[in-house]
Each structure stands twice: as structure tokens, then as C-alpha cells.
Amino acid sequence: METHANHINAPGKGWKHYFFEFLMVFLAVLGGFLAENIREHRVERENEKQYMKSLWLDLQADTDSLKSISSSLEKSNERIEKLIRLLKSSYRNDSICEIYDLAITIPLADRLPQPQNKTFEQLKSSGNLRLIRNSQLLDQIGAYYMRYDQMMAAGPGQMMFQNRHDLYLITYELFDMTVFEKWHQRLNLCKEKPVLLSNDPMVINKICARYFYMQMTRNAILKSWIGNSFLPQADSLLKSLEKEYYFRN
């Protein structure tokens, strides 16, 4: 009986001890969870900044490209004006070589904005748009690339290339195609004194009209899509990214 009594009264582990053990395990698990959460948060922030730096570089390339396209289209439109003026002139036969050069090179200046959207597409396809914490910036990014889709859907590019197609269907009425061939072979256009195949005012006017339609389409692209849309949006988005992520050239 005495032995039994001693066993019953022996000191054991009370509830405080078990609570302490539970608390230690809980704190260890919580600490691990918080550390992993902090690590993941840091990784996401680093990934966000890397994506935004890549997007920022894409936009810089866009602005350079847009300015180049604008300059090219503006200069080509000036050449269209000159070509029409020369063709309509009673002294056009004195400027045959220049007329041929203008007629051949003007259509080659057709260019459309082509935004660098690789980073944006990666963000979309991978589901990483969620990394962008600033909702206003996310909306601004989406609006910029949506604008390009709208431009393609509106069809200015199709109109541009349709104008060129329609022009090519009638150039043979006025221009000697052997001269065009020589130009493409980088031969001297004026060596054999090229001539216009017609002096008919209607033929000349028809050719001039096609170049004029080309000029009008380019002006619409320059003003509506580049000057009033892509360039301002790209510039504004660049400034927003620089402000948010402290990017510098």
C-alpha cells in the first residue's frame, strides 16, 4: 500500500508544462510560416520590379520606334506632295528621273506602330499581372496595349496597304516597269533617259489621286494613332513607371 501511495503522489507534468510545449511548437510553426511568407513577399516584389524594368525598356523602344515612324511618314508625305506637283506641272518631262524615284520609293515608307509587347504578354500568360500592386498603374498598362488592339481592329493598317495595292494596279499606265526593275537592281535610272508612258491628264490625275489617298491615310495614322494616342500614352506610362519604381535612364 505504501508503494502504491508513493506512485500516486510522485510529481508529474502539469498543464502548464504541456501548455508551454504547445506554445513553443506553435511559435516555431508560426515563425516558419512568417519567415516563408516574408521570403515569398520579397521574391514577388523582386519579380515585380524585374518585370516592370523589362516593360519600361519595352516602352523606351516603343517611343523610339514611334518617333522614327512619324518622321518617316512625314517625310514621305512631303515627297507625295512633291510628286503630285511635278506630275501636274507642264514641265514634268524635265524631272523624269526624280518623278520615277519618288514614285518608286514613296510606297516603301508604309509603316505601322508595332509595340514591344513581349513583357506584357508574359505577364498575362503567367498570371503575374497580380504582382503589380498599384491598381491605377495596372489599368494604365492595360489601356496602352488595348489601344494597339483597337488600332488593328479599326483597320488603318489594312487601309494603308490597300492604298498601296490599288496604286500598284495602275502604275503601269504611266510608268515604265523596266525603270522600276532597274531601280530595284540599284542601276542608274537616268542612264537611258526614262519617259512617262502617257501625258493624258486623266491618267496622270488617277495616279496622283492614289498617292493622295495614301497621304491622307498616313496623316490619319500620324495624328490619330501616333501623335494623339501612342506617343502620349507611352510617355505617360514611362513617367508612371519611373515614379513608382525609381527607374532612371
Please give the grid coordinates belonging to residue 228. 494623339
Cα–Cα distance measured from residue 106 to residue 96, given in angstroms and rounded to the nearest whole number: 15
Q: What is the pLDDT of residue 10?
A: 46
Among 2-11, 50-59, 195-204, 222-231, the range scoring the smallest mean pLDDT is 2-11
Cα–Cα distance measured from residue 44 to residue 245, given in angstroms and rounded to the nearest whole number: 14
pLDDT band at 41 (very low <50, low <70, confident <90, very high): low
Domain-wise residue ranges, the chain: 15-245
Left (φ > 0), alpha (ψ -120 to 50) or beta: where does 178 sit?
alpha
> Residue 110: how many CA atoms within 13 Å on its side-chain side?
20
Residue 12 has pLDDT above 60, yes or no: no
Q: Report the percent of the chain where pLDDT is more than 70.
A: 84
Q: What is the pLDDT of residue 42?
A: 76
Q: State the pTM of this model.
A: 0.77
Residue 27 has pLDDT above 70, yes or no: no
Residue type for position 15: W
Contact in structure between 77 and 218 (CB atoms under 8 Å) = yes
Cα–Cα distance measured from residue 166 to residue 32, given in angstroms and rounded to the nearest whole number: 70
Cα–Cα distance measured from residue 121 to residue 136, given in angstroms and rounded to the nearest whole number: 19
Residue 19 has pLDDT above 70, yes or no: no
How many other CB atoms sit within 10 Å of the CB of residue 126? 12
User: Exposed, middle or buried by CB within 10 Å (0-12, 13-18, 19+), for 34?
Assistant: exposed
Please give the grid coordinates belonging to residue 241. 513607371
Listed ranges 138-152, 185-199, 233-247; the one with the highest mean pLDDT: 233-247
Among 12-16, 83-87, 179-183, 206-210, the range scoring the smallest mean pLDDT is 12-16
Report, as an integer, the average pLDDT of 37-61. Answer: 84
How many other CB atoms sit within 10 Å of the CB of residue 179? 20
